Amino acid sequence: MTTPLPAAQPVQHNHLSPLLTDLYQLTMMHGYWRNAMHEQSAVFDVYFRRNPYDGGYAVWAGLEPVLEYVLGLHFDADSLAYLGSLELFEPAFLKALEGWRFSGSIESFPEGSAVFPHEPLLTVRAPLWEAQLIETALLNTLNFQTLIASKAARCVSVMGNGTLVEFGTRRAQGPDGALGAARAAYIGGAAATSNVLAGQRFGLPVVGTHAHAWVESFPDELSAFRAYAALHPDTTTLLLDTIDTLASGLPNAVTVARELREQGHELRAVRLDSGDLAYLSRRVRSALDAAGFPGVKIMASNDLSEEVIQSVIREGGRLDLYAVGTQLVTGGGPGGGALGGVYKLAELAGTLRMKLTGDPSKTSLPGAKRVWRGVNAEGEFVWDVIGLDTDTRPPSPGERVSDPSNPLKSSRLPAGLDWHNPRQVVVAGGQRVQSPETLQAVQARARAELSRLPEGTLRLLNPHTYRVSLSGALQASRDALIGQLQSDLHG
Amino acid sequence: MTTPLPAAQPVQHNHLSPLLTDLYQLTMMHGYWRNAMHEQSAVFDVYFRRNPYDGGYAVWAGLEPVLEYVLGLHFDADSLAYLGSLELFEPAFLKALEGWRFSGSIESFPEGSAVFPHEPLLTVRAPLWEAQLIETALLNTLNFQTLIASKAARCVSVMGNGTLVEFGTRRAQGPDGALGAARAAYIGGAAATSNVLAGQRFGLPVVGTHAHAWVESFPDELSAFRAYAALHPDTTTLLLDTIDTLASGLPNAVTVARELREQGHELRAVRLDSGDLAYLSRRVRSALDAAGFPGVKIMASNDLSEEVIQSVIREGGRLDLYAVGTQLVTGGGPGGGALGGVYKLAELAGTLRMKLTGDPSKTSLPGAKRVWRGVNAEGEFVWDVIGLDTDTRPPSPGERVSDPSNPLKSSRLPAGLDWHNPRQVVVAGGQRVQSPETLQAVQARARAELSRLPEGTLRLLNPHTYRVSLSGALQASRDALIGQLQSDLHG
């Protein structure tokens, strides 16, 4: 069964507590406040260093819940009382927190955008103590949402005309893990979720079949199938493997499909939940077709992943619906489990800041930045350039740009690209400057953007590496700051 | 900094919505109700088939949040209105849900117990439609909590006298992913969390250091260290790698340690966040010792896992505090990401039920069962036997028992074991029969039980396989039911 889709994106009941943060954010805020630095204007960027799943892209997700969090955030009496009980904070600081509100601006890729490593995906410009507090919850949401939206996109990218549905609540990482995954999976291309609360909160279509326990609760499988079909004669999906898929589930499903048809209804689908899905789906398809039921769809739901889906299709599997659970809602598999998005200070009180560290791969990009995306005449995304925010001229053909993680590797930009800024200011002066988008619009953006990536970028294994470069001016600015930090250090 | 630990375990603000479930639970409930089967007495077991992380055990966690969920669950007007809007349910069924409350009983291993594959970890006895509804949220919570508690235990098992702290909120799977992970990590042996909300909700100690942004916000690192130490002169941990761990962070930290001592305080710790932790920690330890600060602890926090911790220690690393983030809160690594716990019907209206399927490894164990744990004279756990619940005699020496996943593999039980039932009835007649435990008590149980496992069971790789067997009577009962199902099918 499926349910109709409401038109608007309802509010997410996210955790809005100011305590959903690491303790050090609060102790640093205290320190900034005590040193009268808390009102200094700061610029922080969110970015990640490696695509999830060792893939060629990520689908940016989580912006709307982040905006609800940031704009709703304040310190209520209960939170302040708890902070007081820790005996770490001066009363005058806690008093100052009573008036804390986010007053800054946020610039971001729209949700559903195709994004890549090293790009400033979201930039916060705010007084230092405002920008600092929100780091933890912001990363928590963006990392997880982007991880799952990207996983859904990978699954959809290999299923041809198949349909993805999210069935993972029981294996998700807590209740919000399930709810957030349902939302993000929809952005990445899932058609529906089994999670009823996600349906209510986010206006997602909800779908379901029945469990083995249903069959076991009746004297025999045929009685169980008949009883279920009687409940929803036009939207029933029957689970075939409680006893034996081909020997029992399939013939009983055909019997029920015939009985439904005699009553003017059609069986919607059957579900395979164990065994060799390529083989079983071919056998089930043939049998259904031969019995006069070419319209009955076949769903599979047994520990699916994008790799399993691809393999089943390559072996001639005949599946229409892919119910993906664990791997989708936890973003599992190699290179998965978590997206390593970070939030790094780029500028404070008008001067550039960066983290040097002993690990060059963890060095951050200093200064307020902007992103340019170069599109060719066919509308294909070809090249992204990260430049200084003050440089408002688009990149030029022949301009020398460098690799974000390897300054020695440089290239010249090709001609014939049309450059635009893919990011938008979504919050200014602590206020939204855009209405929330519907999740359907976000899903449509993701689908459209992924269709514009260069060939091979969507490949699961060893994909094409989308070009992301630093502008010459940004590279020079970083080199100068590294030189200055090292000269302070050694000399 | 750390905070004192309150004595009692506060209520978890879990999602108590009856909609936090898969749609099919509700449509099956509808079907049971329409067929007047909903009040039939059902027995469902929770179990998993493989230890997380390919390890030798799991730490059972999530019971208390499950009890809060099950006992608080009811259908409010808002939920019923949403269900009505789906146009899947008869009004009379929705009316019947108004009075729905869990009235059954729950038997479970206590939280913090060491548990193993195939064992019925938690058994629900309830009217069918009550037992069915709770499946999804119950598995969601138990799978995730057990996954993370087990990960924490693995980390603690290799760190000798080191201390585990949980620092993963920004990489967790949503807000509850973070909160739930903080709770479960504590059960598995973490001493504290960085998550302030988890501190408030669960009464956990909260700890923190400072970020790179703190150092970058000051004119130089020494000023930044001094300012932070001034805030919390007795509980400061300084992050050494913003510029260069050995060339800058370490000498500046020693300077601040001296200044603190002159003022009658002691620097608490330093933190390493990049580079070769074994090498750097030895260098930092020597320098601190040579400067007269043997009491300053060393913390590490760079993508740690149990394997990294073990490797650093083997290479002579000198770490005192292990701040584990991503890998801990997502239960990452091989064999991780999700625990595949399931919830299977074992008995209905007094008759045995099981799922056969085409996959022998997914066949369930029929009937209400009990667990016997055999302990030797040294107090070591040696053997668990799963038997029929009606068989209240403990297993006997020489009794033939069989492997849960391979009926052809049988053994004889040794003599000299003392057998007890490790599970407890925690809910009867829809009411708690025990007060909630403190998380400290649960953590202590986990520590005690893990110390009683056979040698090698805690090993990270290729651990000793703890013995879990089926009693002869249970095996016979399963064989009889399989025979009956197959005879119905084929003959």
DSSP B208-225: ----HHHHHTSSSHHHHH
Q: Do B197 and A337 touch (CB under 8 A)?
A: no
CA distance B247 to chain A (A): 7
Q: What is the DSSP string of A321-367?
A: EEEE-HHHHTT-STT-S----EEEEEEETTEE-----S-GGGPPPPS
Mean pLDDT of successive 10-residue segments in chain A (491 residues)? 41 66 97 97 97 98 96 95 96 97 98 98 98 96 97 97 96 90 98 96 94 95 97 95 95 98 98 96 98 98 95 97 97 94 95 78 88 98 97 95 89 97 98 95 98 97 96 92 82 60
Q: Give the whole-angstrom CA distance, residue B93 versus residue B18.
A: 15
Q: Are B123 and B108 in contact (CB under 8 A)?
A: yes
- Integer Rg of chain A from CA: 26
CB interface of A with B, residues 340-359, below 8 Å: 340-341, 343-345, 348, 353-359
Both tokens assigned to A377: 């005449």
In 3-state terms chain B splits into helix, strand, coil percentages (rounded to 5) of: 40, 20, 40
pLDDT on residue B482: 87
Both tokens assigned to B270: 């330093």
Q: With beta carbons under 8 A apart, name residues in chain B contacting A209.
A: 24
CB interface of A with B, residues 119-158, below 8 Å: 128, 132, 135-137, 139-141, 143-144, 147
Q: Are B386 and B369 in contact (CB under 8 A)?
A: yes
Q: With beta carbons under 8 A apart, name residues in chain A contacting B31.
A: 210, 214, 227-228, 231
pLDDT on residue A116: 98
Using a CB–CB cutoff of 8 Å, tell me whether B170 touches chain A: yes
Using a CB–CB cutoff of 8 Å, tell me whether B222 touches chain A: no
User: CB neighbours of B431 closer than 8 A, spacing ≥ 6?
Assistant: B71
Using a CB–CB cutoff of 8 Å, tell me whether B81 touches chain A: no
Q: What is the DSSP string of A201-241?
A: HH---B-----HHHHHTSSSHHHHHHHHHHHSTTS-EEE--
Count the alpha carbons within 13 Å of B475 in the hemisphere toward its beta carbon. Answer: 18
Both tokens assigned to A259: 């009985």
Q: Do A23 and B194 touch (CB under 8 A)?
A: yes
Identify the structural domains of chain B with CATH numbers, from first to last. Answer: 23-148+337-490 (3.20.140.10)
Low-confidence ranges of chain B (pLDDT < 70): 1-15, 358, 360-361, 491
Q: Give the whole-angstrom CA distance, residue B322 versus residue A78.
A: 31
Q: Give the whole-angstrom CA distance, residue A415 versus residue A421.
A: 18
Q: Give the whole-angstrom CA distance, residue B113 versus residue B449.
A: 6
Q: Give the whole-angstrom CA distance, residue A242 versus residue B347.
A: 15
Q: Are B241 and B250 in contact (CB under 8 A)?
A: no
Instruction: Please count the other Cβ atoms lying within 10 Å of the Cβ belonging to residue A107.
Output: 24
pLDDT on residue A489: 75
Q: Do A247 and B345 touch (CB under 8 A)?
A: no
Q: Give the whole-angstrom CA distance, residue A259 versus residue A286.
A: 19
Nearest alpha carbon to residue B478 among B382, B375, B373, B344: B344
Under DSSP, the state recorded for A248 is I
Q: Do A228 and B340 touch (CB under 8 A)?
A: no
pLDDT on residue A356: 76
In angstroms, the Cα distances linking A218 to A222, A242, A257, B37, B348 are 9, 12, 19, 9, 10
Buried b (16+ CB within 10 A) or exposed e, B265-287: bebbbbbbbbbbbbebbbbbbeb
pLDDT on residue A358: 67
Nearest alpha carbon to residue B228 among B197, B270, B262: B270
Q: Do B217 and A40 touch (CB under 8 A)?
A: yes
Q: Give the whole-angstrom CA distance, residue B1 versus residue B13.
A: 26
pLDDT on residue B366: 92
Sign of CA dihedral A469, A475, A481, A482: positive
Q: Are A238 and A205 in contact (CB under 8 A)?
A: no
Could you tell me how many CB contacts below 8 A there are between chain A and chain B? 367
